[in-house]
């Protein structure tokens, strides 16, 4: 006998498909929504529905935006000579939060990951090259992909594409995280911190 | 400057309202939906929307159901003389899974929790009393609220309501969990297991 009503089973299944949400959490979320008012559930459903309807990608930097070009690309006060290349829109938000960067962005929407079948052609790399070629303002490209295996190899791949072009390609510094403890730093981070040491003036 | 588009912020907020989902998980889920196809997001939104539309509560046992009365209350093959009282619809599913219970259910939709402002009148206790009074078939009420402080006091409260009535009120056995280890059992469970010991025949 099917005791759990079909709509409940369906929502549990849909929740389970989200990353990091197992069947137990999915059923907890479903019964939570069921216990709460229909308005609460409707607000969530509406927010999900509008996500793809209202969000588009900036045709210049491929960040998510409600209007094209996005608020960064459309802002003439931003430094047009630097492009910071990141993996995901979330990375843009992280860098903006520092309030230390005033250039432009370029969102790759992923990293090169052969194991998962993601090649350079699946990312916005060709668009980045065209963008830099067309503009005569860009002097520096900061490769801000994640400091892990895939991020590094993606950065190396992009750097190679710009070889011979009159543009400086840089990479975010690797080293000890601020507030971290030298004792607990892994060897690779520590050796990067050593090789990247800077003079105290 | 508002860098994250409003629909994205709104969905992150909606996700954050769910239990056990913090702002970080909420933003991870939102960007996951954004990266995936609009169809996937739409399926989730639709499943949430239909939850309250298609699900109703059984007017007899207050379990969730698509049709009233529910499949248990409407089934004449179930033992009409026993009612198992549980806190939530999920508990019904758990008990059904044992395949050892063939009576009826009554879902309280919570427990008495004065700290959170939940009194007996917020639960389906009055409905349970009426249900037992009206029927002449019910001989036993099994109180299957959770074996914790609130579950116990709710069970005690309900048991008191049936004092003097010609109905047997029982409580699920407390003891060592099957497959558990005596060495690691907490004292309360162990003392319950001792006092509830049964003769081997």
The side-by-side arrangement of strands in the sheet containing A82-86 is: A104-107, A82-86, A140-143, A168-171
Contact between chains at B48 and A33 (C-beta distance less than 8 A): yes
CA distance A8 to B47: 8
Tell me the H-state helices in A55-148. 89-98, 125-134
Given a cut of 90, is residue B196 above it in pLDDT? no
A39: in domain: yes
Q: By the 8 A CB rule, do B106 and B158 touch?
A: no
Rounded to the nearest 5 degrees, what angle is found at the Cα of A93, between the Cα atoms of A84 and A180?
Answer: 90
User: Does residue B129 sit in the same domain as residue B190?
Assistant: yes
Beta-strand pair A64-65/B104-107:
unpaired
Q: Is residue B166 part of a domain?
A: yes
**Alpha carbons A77 and B176: distance in angstroms, whole number:** 69
Domain span at residue A180 reads 64-199
- Domain finish residue from B54, B75, B90: B54
What residues in B contact A42, CB-CB < 8 Å? 48-49, 52
- Of B167, B161, B182, whose CA–CA distance to B82 is shortest? B167
Single pTM value for the model: 0.70
- Most A CBs within 10 A among B1, B11, B14, B47, hence the mutation to make, goes to B47
CB A106 within 8 A of CB A124: yes
Beta carbons of B83 and B128 less than 8 angstroms apart: yes
Cβ–Cβ of A27/B65 closer than 8 Å?
no
Task: Give the model's pLDDT for residue A2.
Answer: 61
C-beta atoms of A51 and B8 within 8 A: yes
| Euclidean distance between CA atoms B82 and B141, whole angstroms | 6
From A38's Cα to the closest Cα of chain B, the distance in A is 6
Q: Which of A3, A18, A55 sits opposite B29 (nearest CB)?
A: A18
Question: Is A42 in contact with B52 (Cβ distance < 8 A)?
Answer: yes
Which of B36, B50, B51, B68 is the best substitution to test chain A (most A C-beta atoms within 10 A)?
B51
Q: Which of residues 58-87 of A touch B (CB under 8 A)?
A: 64-66, 71-72
DSSP element (H, E) containing A169: strand A168-171
Domain count, chain A: 2
Q: Are residues B94 and B182 in the same domain?
A: yes
Whether residue B101 is found in the same domain as residue B178: yes
Residue finishing a domain among B54, B73, B88: B54
Measured distance CA(B24)–CA(B36) in Å, rounded: 18
Question: In 3-state terms, what secondary structure has residue A128?
Answer: helix
Q: Whole-angstrom Cα distance, residue B31 to residue B145?
A: 39
What is the chain B residue with the closest CA to A95?
B3
State the residue for tokens 């026993």: B82
Position B2 pLDDT exceeds 80: no
Identify the CATH number of the domain in which residue B89 sits: 3.40.1360.10
pLDDT in tens, chain A (201 residues): 567 888 999 999 999 999 999 988 998 899 899 888 889 999 999 999 999 899 989 999 999 999 889 999 999 999 999 999 999 988 998 888 888 899 999 999 999 999 989 999 999 999 999 999 998 899 999 999 998 899 999 999 999 999 989 899 998 888 888 877 878 888 888 888 888 877 776
Task: Provide CB contacts within 8 A for A72, sequence distance 6+.
Answer: A58, A61, A63, A78, A92, A104, A105, B3
Within a domain: A59: no
Domain-embedded: residue B30: yes
- Identify the CATH number of the domain in which residue A50 sits: 1.10.8.420
Q: Are residue A183 and residue A126 in the same domain, yes or no?
A: yes
Helical H segments across chain A, by residue range = 6-16, 23-35, 38-54, 89-98, 125-134, 149-161, 187-195
Is residue B165 less than 8 Å (CB to CB) from chain A?
no
Q: Name residues 123-142 of chain B within 8 A of A (Cβ).
A: none
Strand partners, A20: none
Q: Verify that A32 and A84 share a domain, yes or no.
A: no
What are the tens digits of pLDDT across the range B22-69? 988 998 899 899 888 889 999 999 999 999 899 989 999 999 999 889
B174 domain residue, yes or no: yes
Q: Do B19 and B90 fall into the same domain?
A: no
Interface test with B, best of A5, A89, A94 (most B CBs within 10 A): A5
How far apart CA A120 and CA A154 sit, in angstroms, is 8
Cis status, amide bond into A69, omega within 30 of 0: yes
A83, A46: one domain? no
C-alpha distance across the termini of chain B, in Å: 77
């Amino acid at each position: 006998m099917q005791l759990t009503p079909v709509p409940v089973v369906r929502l549990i299944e849909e929740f389970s498909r989200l990353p990091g949400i197992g069947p137990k959490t999915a059923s907890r979320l479903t019964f939570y929504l069921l216990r709460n008012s229909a308005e609460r559930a409707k607000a969530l459903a509406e927010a999900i529905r509008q996500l793809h309807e209202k969000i588009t990608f900036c045709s210049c930097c491929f960040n998510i935006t409600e209007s094209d070009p996005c608020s960064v690309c459309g802002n003439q006060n931003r430094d047009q000579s630097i492009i910071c290349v990141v993996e995901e829109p979330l990375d843009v938000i992280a860098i903006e939060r520092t309030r230390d960067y005033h250039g432009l962005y370029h969102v790759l929407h992923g990293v090169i990951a052969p194991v998962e079948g993601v090649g350079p052609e699946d990312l916005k790399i060709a668009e980045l090259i065209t963008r830099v070629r067309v503009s005569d303002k860009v002097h520096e490209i900061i490769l801000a992909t994640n400091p892990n295996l895939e991020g590094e190899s993606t950065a190396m791949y992009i750097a190679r594409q710009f070889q011979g072009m009159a543009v400086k390609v840089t990479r975010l510094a690797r080293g000890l995280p601020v507030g971290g403890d030298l004792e607990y730093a892994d060897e690779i981070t520590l050796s990067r911190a050593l090789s990247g040491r800077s003079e105290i003036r």
